[in-house]
Amino acid sequence: METRVALITGGMGGLGTAICKALSADGFTVVANCLPGDAGRADWLKARQAEGHAMHAAEADVTDYDACAAMVEQIEREIGPIAVLVNNAGIIRDKYFPKMEKAQWDAVLSTNLDSLFNVTHHISPRMVERGWGRIINISSVNGVKGQAGQTNYSAAKAGCLGFTKALAQELCAKGVTVNAIAPGYIGTDMVMSMRPDIVQGIIDSVPMKRLGKPEEIGALCAYLASELAGYMTGATLNINGGMHMG
């Protein structure tokens, strides 16, 4: 049997890398999306190769609908039909709301929420046509509970949950599942970019008293992508060290 192709947006970042590795370990042919001209692309591919994962890279800015169409077209032509899509690309631009600039709002909403439309719109009809697919959207604990300083990010990540449930309903009978993962604070560059005292305060507030590991999110993605996850759709899976229980 041919291996299934999995596309992970923002696949070369902290969470993205762990997701790529988990899916590759489970036998998927992994395509890691990155921004056009990403300077780290070649080194990232080499590092994965050295770990025994032969992966592909695909460039497209997920805020650009037409660029996403071209990327999907090229992957399907050159690598194979996309069976698993992980919408993982995301950024933060944290600011107390009165001080938040329009550009910070727009950047987060377009990268974290518009991207779901821009990428999924080109792939879900193909999955439906083939009668099988897994769409996994990376939300956040802060989309579930809200977070001061993150009106933009919380709004986008909550929007991601609505998108997940609505699309899951549309695709229920078509062999395509749509689920969301809501990670808590994971030890990636995104979290470590905050002031050290803020990071420490967050760790102290997590009942398990530690940050999550990227591999813990990768393993959950691998489950959702698997054949045996076929009865789960429209779900939000909380994975946050007990910080918030949905």
Residues with Cβ within 8 Å of residue 161, at least 6 apart in sequence: 139, 143, 144, 180, 182, 236
Query: What CA–CA distances, in Å, run from 39 to 7, 8, 36?
Result: 20, 18, 9
* Residue position matching structure tokens 């998108």: 163
Candidates 19, 7, 17, 2; CA nearest to 220 is: 19
Interface with ligand CAA by CB under 6 A: which range of 27-35, 138-146, 161-169, 208-216?
A: 138-146
Catalytic entry in 65, 96, 153, 223: 153
As measured in angstroms, the least distance from the Cβ of 41 to ligand CAA is: 24
Candidates 243, 26, 15; CA nearest to 134 is: 26
Assess 130 for contact with ligand CAA (CB under 6 A): no
Judged by beta carbon, residue 44 or residue 153, the one nearer ligand CAA is 153
Interface with ligand CAA by CB under 6 A: which range of 5-13, 35-43, 101-109, 190-198?
A: 190-198
Assess 141 for contact with ligand CAA (CB under 6 A): yes
The residues carrying an active-site annotation are 153
Query: Rule CB under 6 A: which residues touch ligand CAA?
Result: 92, 94-96, 99, 140-142, 147-150, 153, 184-185, 190-191, 194, 198
